[in-house]
Structure 1
Amino acid sequence: MDRLDIGFIGIVITLLLIGIRIPIGVAMGAVAIAGIYAMLGLMPAIGIAKAIPYELVGDWNLSAVPMFLLMGYVASGAGLTSGLFAAARVFLNRVPGGLASASVASSALFASASGSSVATAAAFSRIAIPEMLKAGYAPSLAAGSVAAAGTLGSLIPPSVLLIVFGLMMDVSISTLFVAGLIPGLLSGVMFIALITVRTTLNPSLAPRLKEHYTLRQKIDLIKDVWPLPVLIAGVLGGIFTGIFTATEAGAIGAFLAAVIALFRRQLSFSVMRTALIDTALSTSAIFIIVVGAALFARFIALSTVPVWVTGFFEGYSALSVILMIGVLYLVLGCFLESISIMLLTLPVLAPLLAHLGVDLIWFGILTVKLLEIGLVTPPVGMNVYVIRSSLGNVIPLGKIFAGVSWFILADLITLALLIAFPVISLWLPAFMAN
């Protein structure tokens, strides 16, 4: 059996293991070591199994992951995100579908702190959906808007997916963060535009609220939510201006979150202890996945599968390949979770993208956008199931998927714009560089 056959067999076995719920990091690592042993023998397999985890975990850039996670956990645990929906509700209450649009706007800010789509969806399913149902909103619109808005955490920096992409493809994480800002905001604007148009054409989806707020009430709400925008501005401003790197920004963000919480007298030993434990657990899970993916990438490279893939697509234009990859990601997104798709496919696609001269920053934004869509597509749709779990049987699963389907359409339009006009993703990094 030649190396190419071993490579394809390894890919199939890995997919089967993931399909039967073996943890992805374990599945990729085990298949990689077994495949390298089949190709090169025992001692090379042992050597690679020892060297790659040591080199990878010792990579300074990877320290951004626990730091940004800690920032999010401290901000959430100390209540720095608690007033977001209330404030957005006040300033968007005159817009058709204002509560749903407020969910999108507040989710975008929350996502900037947490970096997690699932965490964003879970938080706002308990905060925003009950308020929308109480106001007479259609359950499908209420749940669909929160499920879709939760995906903004994947693209708006700081994003764990962008960090992992940068490590896997050896591109600047800071540049990826800068590139993700405009596409992330564009996604949010598209969601709000969709909500506004739908509720204007069909007012029964979202009855207009007759709420009036005084200037004093608005000022009080701004006072309640100022810490999070300040935190985000401090972190992203430092990255965008080059004062510090994305890796350093994570540590500075975690420190700022703790200082702001302490200033507001919301930082307790219990909050800090919980944040540190949650950070350690999440970081361990991510590191296991990344180590498994790195071993798998070495196995795939040794198997010559990327060479075969590059040869197979010889003669195709870069745009054609990007569109085919997009279809592949959308299909995989129906069955696998985001990080699994990225770590399984990038080792195979990287040489092909290099051969075609595709800008990896642009491709990184497209990848994360495609993975965002996968978070709400059936039958897996992780954000949808998170909302269902949070709400119990209040809204049937079918209604949640029906509501989110409109937002998938908006996402596909956004994706088409990002593909047709790469400048949307690349203009800000070029501007900041100059």
Structure 2
Amino acid sequence: MISDPLILSVIIIVVMFAFLLSSIWIGVSLILTGILGMLLFDHNLPPVISVYDKIGDLLAGSLYDALNSWSLAALPMFILMGEILYKSSISTRLLNGLKPWLSYIPGGLLHVNVAACSLFAAVSGSSAATTATVGKITLDELKKRGYSKSIAMGSLAGAGTLGFLIPPSLIMIIYGVLADTSIGKLFIAGILPGLLLATLYSIYIMIAAKVDPSVEPEVKETFTFKQKIDSLKDLLPVFSLITLILGSIYGGLATPTEAAALGVMGATLLAIYFKSFSWEIFRTAVLNSVKTSTMISFIIAGAVFLSQVIGFLGIARAMSEFITGLGLSPLMLILLIGIMYIILGMILEAISIVVMTLPIVLPIVVLAGFDPLWFGVFLVFMVEMAQITPPVGFSLFVIQSISNEKIETILKATFPFFIMMIITVMAITFFPEIVHYLPNQMIK
């Protein structure tokens, strides 16, 4: 039996990687890792309570809590909307409509992932739903048109995490409540860092296209102004659908889950209007959305169970207390806290990271002179990184299910966009005015 949470955390990470590399289902791997962690830990339970009873209670409760969520109901609806758009001709029309406007930019249609993820993130509020929806529409189309699949997957993984910075952001709401910080200010504070990150993604795509011409098709088409105007007929239906979803949410007419249902209805009507809808298309879209949403839900359930095990064993608390007890300078402290969150992101899902560590970390951060509003945006970036760090990077697994590529290939494609996140975090750390500028303007 092991009583030291830090030693146990190392063992859990090693075991988890071993399970994942053995090709066991990801959800099963997470659950088995949590069970093994419970069995290895010295619980000092009363004789009448066995560790197996504790595992059973924790597993049953965590699985129910993970999936008994009305907000989670939006996930399969948005995935179904993406499937309908993908299976009908609408996704092709979208890229055809964008091509005249983006053909002159290095990287061309690869920029669609960044723009589309930003828009859908504001619609769904879910990184998994954003990545799955946009990925279903863009990945195959970009491959068919001769674009680099590696950069297409990497930009999708990176841009899919923007949902945490774009309101409505669940993470910011949770942070605002726990840190007693204005949620409205948090939303506004995330706008400039989010735009900065999206801009860096696009800059990287342009540089990659300049350095390696094979990133995009060899032959570039040229378009007249009339052709650009004509292309709007392919763009307007999709932008109308996005406006319908966003308008219903921000207008207070629908919750994100209800807006997702509106999105499915709108996508179906558009497919019928363009005469690209059939019973077979709808049937295939429903089946695929069930498979994808079940896969994502299973991973979420396994991650929540493992998160509860890690909380129960005191691993997150032990790591936080170890780092904050070192007596470091403010910059070194924030650096180590950032590293801690990246490590936690390998084994925990986003909400668990925030809830489990914030009560310990926030007082130390404030004492070191950092503003709670700034730290909220910093923490969101750390949580975003968790979405694309192995082994519990939800965005990575979603892309794997869509692309059928090996996880190593996806990790390699995602790495440059992970670096862009680190650069953005460094920018807001050394220039906190990026975070504070818009909230300060709001006060004036």
The TM-score, its normalising length taken from structure 1, stands at 0.70
**1:314-353 → structure 2 map (5 Å cutoff):** 315-328=327-340, 336=346, 339=348, 347=356, 351-353=360-362
Q: Secondary structure at the match of 1:94?
A: coil
1:193 aligns with 2:203: yes
- 2:193–2:434: 8 Å Cα contact kept in structure 1? yes
Alignment correspondent of 2:15:
17
- 8 Å CA contact 1:147–1:404 kept in 2: the answer is yes
Q: How does 1:62-141 map to 2 (within 5 A)?
A: 62-64=69-71, 66-79=72-85, 82=91, 83-110=93-120, 113=124, 115-116=127-128, 119=132, 120-121=134-135, 124-133=138-147, 139=148
Aligned mate of 1:212, from 213, 223, 243: 223
- Distance in 2 between residues matched to 1:6 and 1:109, nearest whole Å: 45
Paired residues, what number? 404
**2:114 alignment partner AA:** V
Q: Amino acid of the residue matched to residue 150 of structure 2?
A: A
The counterpart of 1:183, out of the listed 187, 193, 213, is: 193
Contact 1:71/1:255 (8 A) holds in 2:
yes
* Structure 1 SS opposite 2:236: helix
What residue identity is the alignment partner of 1:77? E
1:279 to 266, 286, 293: 293
SS of the residue aligned with 1:95? coil
Give the 3 Å change call, closer, same or farther, for CA 197–178 of structure 1 in structure 2: same
The separation in 1 between residues aligned to 2:14 and 2:310, in whole angstroms, is 15
Identify if the C-alpha distance between structure 1 residues 63 and 131 changes in structure 2 by more than 3 Å, giving closer, same or farther: same
3-state secondary structure, aligned to 1:20: helix
CA 1:422–1:56: 2 relative to 1, 3 Å: farther
Partner of 1:136: none
Q: Is the 8 A contact 2:157 2:399 kept in 1?
A: no
Look up the match of 1:255: 261
8 Å CA contact 1:14–1:31 kept in 2: the answer is yes
Task: Give yes or no for the alignment of 1:38 onto 2:47.
Answer: no
Supply the distance in 2 between the matched residues of 1:77 and 1:389 (Cα, whole angstroms): 14
Query: What is the TM-score normalised by the length of structure 2?
Result: 0.69
Aligned to 2:310: 296
What is the correspondence of 1:307-318 to structure 2 with a 5 Å cutoff?
308-309=321-322, 312-313=325-326, 315-318=327-330
Distance verdict in 2 for CA 1:59–1:16, change over 3 Å:
closer
Q: Is the 8 A contact 1:126 1:390 kept in 2?
A: no
Amino acid aligned to 1:287: A
- Paired with 1:43 and 1:433, the residues of 2 have a C-alpha distance of 56
Residue 18 of structure 1: how far off its partner (Å): 0.7
Q: What does residue 153 of structure 1 align with? A: 160
Query: How far 1:115 moved relative to its partner?
Result: 2.9
Structure 2: which amino acid aligns with 1:154? Answer: T
Distance 1:321 1:32, change over 3 A: farther
Q: Could you tell me which residue of structure 2 aligns to residue 368 of structure 1?
A: 383
- Return the offset for 1:156: 2.3
Task: Report the CA distance shift for 1:353/1:319 in structure 2 as closer, same or farther (over 3 A).
Answer: farther
The change in CA–CA distance for 1:350 and 1:218 in structure 2 (over 3 A counts) is: same
Report how far residue 128 of structure 1 moved: 1.0
Cα offsets for 1:339-394 (capped at 9, x unmatched) = 56985797457513343236352233121343356379xxx9947983995479xx
Q: Distance in 2 between matches of 1:70 and 1:179?
A: 30
**Alpha-carbon distance between aligned partners in 2 of 1:432 and 1:33, rounded to the nearest angstrom:** 52
How far apart are the structure 1 equivalents of 2:398 and 2:292? 23
- In the superposition, relative to structure 1, how do residues 69 and 405 fare at CA in structure 2: closer, same or farther (>3 Å)? closer
| Residues 241-291 of structure 1: per-residue CA shift (max 9 Å, x gap) | xx48xxx73322222213313433459663456545643553343134213
Query: Unaligned stretches of 5+ in structure 2?
Result: 20-27
Does 1:144 pair with 2:151? yes
Distance 1:125 1:355, change over 3 A: same
TM-superposed CA distance for 1:15, in Å, is: 1.7
Give a deviation string over 1:136-182, Cα, whole Å, max 9, x none: xxx5xx522541333211222599xx647966996599767766554
Structure 1 contact 74–272 (Cα < 8 Å) conserved: yes
Identity of aligned residues (%): 18
Q: Counterparts of 1:433 and 1:237 in 2: how far apart (Å)?
A: 22
- For 1:44 and 1:426, locate their aligned partners in 2 and report how far apart those are by CA, in whole Å: 52
Q: Deviations over 1:208-232 (max 9, x none)?
A: 7233152553221123422442245
5+ residue gaps, structure 1? 134-138
